[in-house]
Amino acid sequence: MAYNLPATRLLMNRLRQMMAEDGETRSRLDNVVQLIASTMVADVCSIYLRQPRGMLILLATEGLKPEAVGNTRLGMSEGLVGLVARRAEPMAIQDAPRHPSFSYRPETGEDPFHAFLGVPILRGGRVIGVLTVQNRTERLYGDEEIDTLQTIAMVLAEIVDRIDTEHMQNGDMQRRTRNLATLKGRVLCEGLGYGRAVLHDPVVPAAKFFAGDQEVEDRRLDRAMVDLKASIDRMMMIDGAALGEDPRDVMETYRLLAHDPSWAEKLHEGVRSGLSAEASVDRARREHRARLQSARDPYLRERLHDLEDLDNRLLRILGGDEGKPQISEERSVLVARRLGPAELLEYANAGLRGILMEEAAASSHAAIVARALGIPTLGGIEGLTTRIDQGDWLIVDAEQGTLHVRPDDSLYDAYKARVALRSERQAAYAALRDLPARTKDGRTIRLMLNAGLDLDLDMLEPAGADGIGLFRTEFQFLVSETLPSMEDQITLYSRVLKKAAGKPVIFRSLDLGGDKVLPALNLQREENPALGWRSIRFALDHKGLFRRQLRALVRAAGDGPLTVMFPMVTVPAEFFEARDLLLKEVEWSAERTGRRLSKLEIGVMLETPALAYSLPELAGAAEFLSVGTNDLMQFFYAADRMTPHVSDRYDLVFPSALRFLKQVADDCATYGIRLSACGEQTGSTLSALCFVALGFTNLSMSAGSIGPVKRMIRSLDMQAFQPDFLTALEQPNESFRNQLLALANEHGVELSEG
């Protein structure tokens, strides 16, 4: 019997009625497999559930021996069921016993069956089970049957994910209670937070899986698709002159995906099969996520990321949110698989109590934005999005790197006590605000603020910062769907200088690329973007865009002082080319406005090791050099800071890295180049201690780090500590970090980490 669309709709309608009925879980699943087998004219229908240890256990069946339920188990590398789970994609096989992966289990009684179709049951992009049908005859299941079984698997995911496999032997099949869970992650921004979970990725409730009226759902989907394309077209409406003649590959590709008729047709097929518009999009999103988990090709991963983002945007539009994430909870903790800096900035004014990310490295720009927002943040939490439901209460312990899901009263009481203790520490730091960061033996260190948002500027006085040592100008571009005009840039830079109230401000010119790929700019997808066309390289290739920014900086400064530094300079020629462009803009502005800068300082960021060996050429031209710890350590250790598996493996507090920095400090002293350091590493009290001991007198960090670092400096006798530090650097122990911690303790230096 040929399988057809009316049969699909009939199956989905009957499944909707079955899901709405009350009843014990086992009987409902038994009814589901019977329904699927009868409607699809299959001799067997079975559901397998993946256990925490990776085994796949037979959960329910129609056609196999009933006693096999709860007893048949397959590893992820066993049988056709294991192959479906491993690949995370459907498999249709005409004669299963002849397939090399076939694994015969005598207790199932599956000897007579030949045709096989298996689809993964997906939740949160992970395979949590497998749904199969089998027939005695040799036949190949068609595309419609595969699509239907995938749709059913999506509906089943919400049921089987909570079944407790430990109670299967006695037939209870109890639902797992969503009790307290404790997960570990990496601290990206220190602090404590408590609130309800808000999932960044839109959630489609099981109750809304099915279409009440197919024609209505079709029209809703069409309208949402039109709105989605219009929103992307608006992002494309930028000043092409600023980008030169190069094609805008990134957004053009993104727009092509949104206009892809095959994507739209697949979504409409879901609606025609009986799904709601949201459920049809969610089905596509689950498939994209599952493919992303196993994709190794960088280009394919980027396309799948784009498709998933399109799915999320379309779901938000269907929900009436115009494609942008919304937060309505008063106390909320944002939960996401991954976030780019631009996406995170959309939540800047949402009053978040915490941020949780499944994929994030400590030095990623999403983490930097989180620190700028001052929100307790954890990253790298494995299985995060499959362990948390919308509205769950969460405690974010971003001091010890722990997340408590659905905490009990005792944990909440302990959290409140920790908050009170943290408030006492913050009060102690606040008492140091107006005191200088001066060592016991009289050496003064300037502690500056890393900034890029208005929220950062508001922290300049409360933190007791001596100025802004790094203003990240690219954040203005990240929050805009179009390129900021020169007037917009002038307004921002003028506001920064006004809020600094005479304190020094170091503006870093545009640093785009890596994980800061903007929809509005021509940043091509690259296999290794950290080493590619980014930062000063991109700016010098787009002189219209670059000169417009430099002109805005000069205009904003007027007849006051201006300090600019250029990022990721690798060879002196790049610095001199950028410096010449800035000097031309200074003269251009003076001629047309009659106003001339009272002082101009031009510096360079040391982020590539190659530049460290070019300091003689920069002598007399670069007034200062700022060590950018994030990228410098990435290139020094050849460890991608966006890859969690390696980003936290290598430490700045290590003999080779510190010896390199000592050489840089000695060379800067020789060539008369003022030396400073910025980036996230400077905010650690132990790292800051090392910088000070190496001779750095200017450190720039996040607002929350200034208090602890200032306390450390004021407890330090540099004259006594420095000789012992340099000796340890030349004669390190196996555990150099512990060696330094012991040395600091011996000298009475107050550190905030152990």
Q: Within its chain, how far is the Cα of 466 from the centroid?
A: 31
For helices 214-236 and 298-318, give the axis angle rounded to 10 degrees. 120
SS (H, E, C) 509-568: CCCCECCECCCCCCCCCCCCHHHCCCHHHHHHHCHHHHHHHHHHHHHHHCCCEEEEEECC
Cα–Cα distance between 226 and 219 in angstroms, integer?
11
Q: How many CA atoms lie within 13 A of 747 on its CB side?
A: 24
Q: What is the DSSP string of 331-390?
A: SEEEEES---HHHHHTTTTS-EEEEEESS--TTSHHHHHHHHHT--EEE--TTHHHH--T
* Residue listed under structure tokens 């639902």: 175
Q: What is the DSSP letter of 210?
A: B
Over its C-alpha atoms, the chain yields an Rg (Å, rounded) of: 30
Take residue 407 and report the two structure tokens written for it. 């905490």
Q: What is the DSSP string of 582-645?
A: HHHHHHHHHHHHS---SEEEEEEEE-SHHHHTTHHHHTTT-SEEEEEHHHHHHHHHT--TT-HH
| Amino acid at site 98 | R
The dihedral over CA atoms of 703, 706, 708, 713, expressed in degrees to the nearest 10, equals: 170
**Cβ-contact 326, 349 below 8 angstroms:** no
Q: Which residues are catalytic?
A: 365, 678
Cα–Cα distance between 253 and 248 in angstroms, integer?
9
Take residue 126 and report the two structure tokens written for it. 């992970």
Q: What is the DSSP string of 29-74?
A: HHHHHHHHHHHTT-SEEEEEEE-TTS-EEEEEEESS-GGGTTT-EE
Cα–Cα distance between 636 and 658 in angstroms, integer?
11
Tell which phi-psi region holds residue 201, choosing left (phi > 0), alpha (psi between -120 and 50) or beta.
beta
CB count, 10 Å around CB of 282?
23
Exposure letters 495-522 (e unless 16+ CB within 10 A, then b): ebbebbeeeebbbbbbbbbbbbbbbbbb
| Amino acid at site 697 | T
* Residue listed under structure tokens 């200032």: 710
Tell which phi-psi region holds residue 104, choosing left (phi > 0), alpha (psi between -120 and 50) or beta.
beta
List of residues 6+ apart from 99 with CB closer than 8 A: 80, 93, 116
Please choose, from the candidates 501, 431, 429, 433, the residue with its C-alpha nearest in 3D space to the C-alpha of residue 468.
501
Q: How many CA atoms lie within 13 A of 608 on its CB side?
A: 20
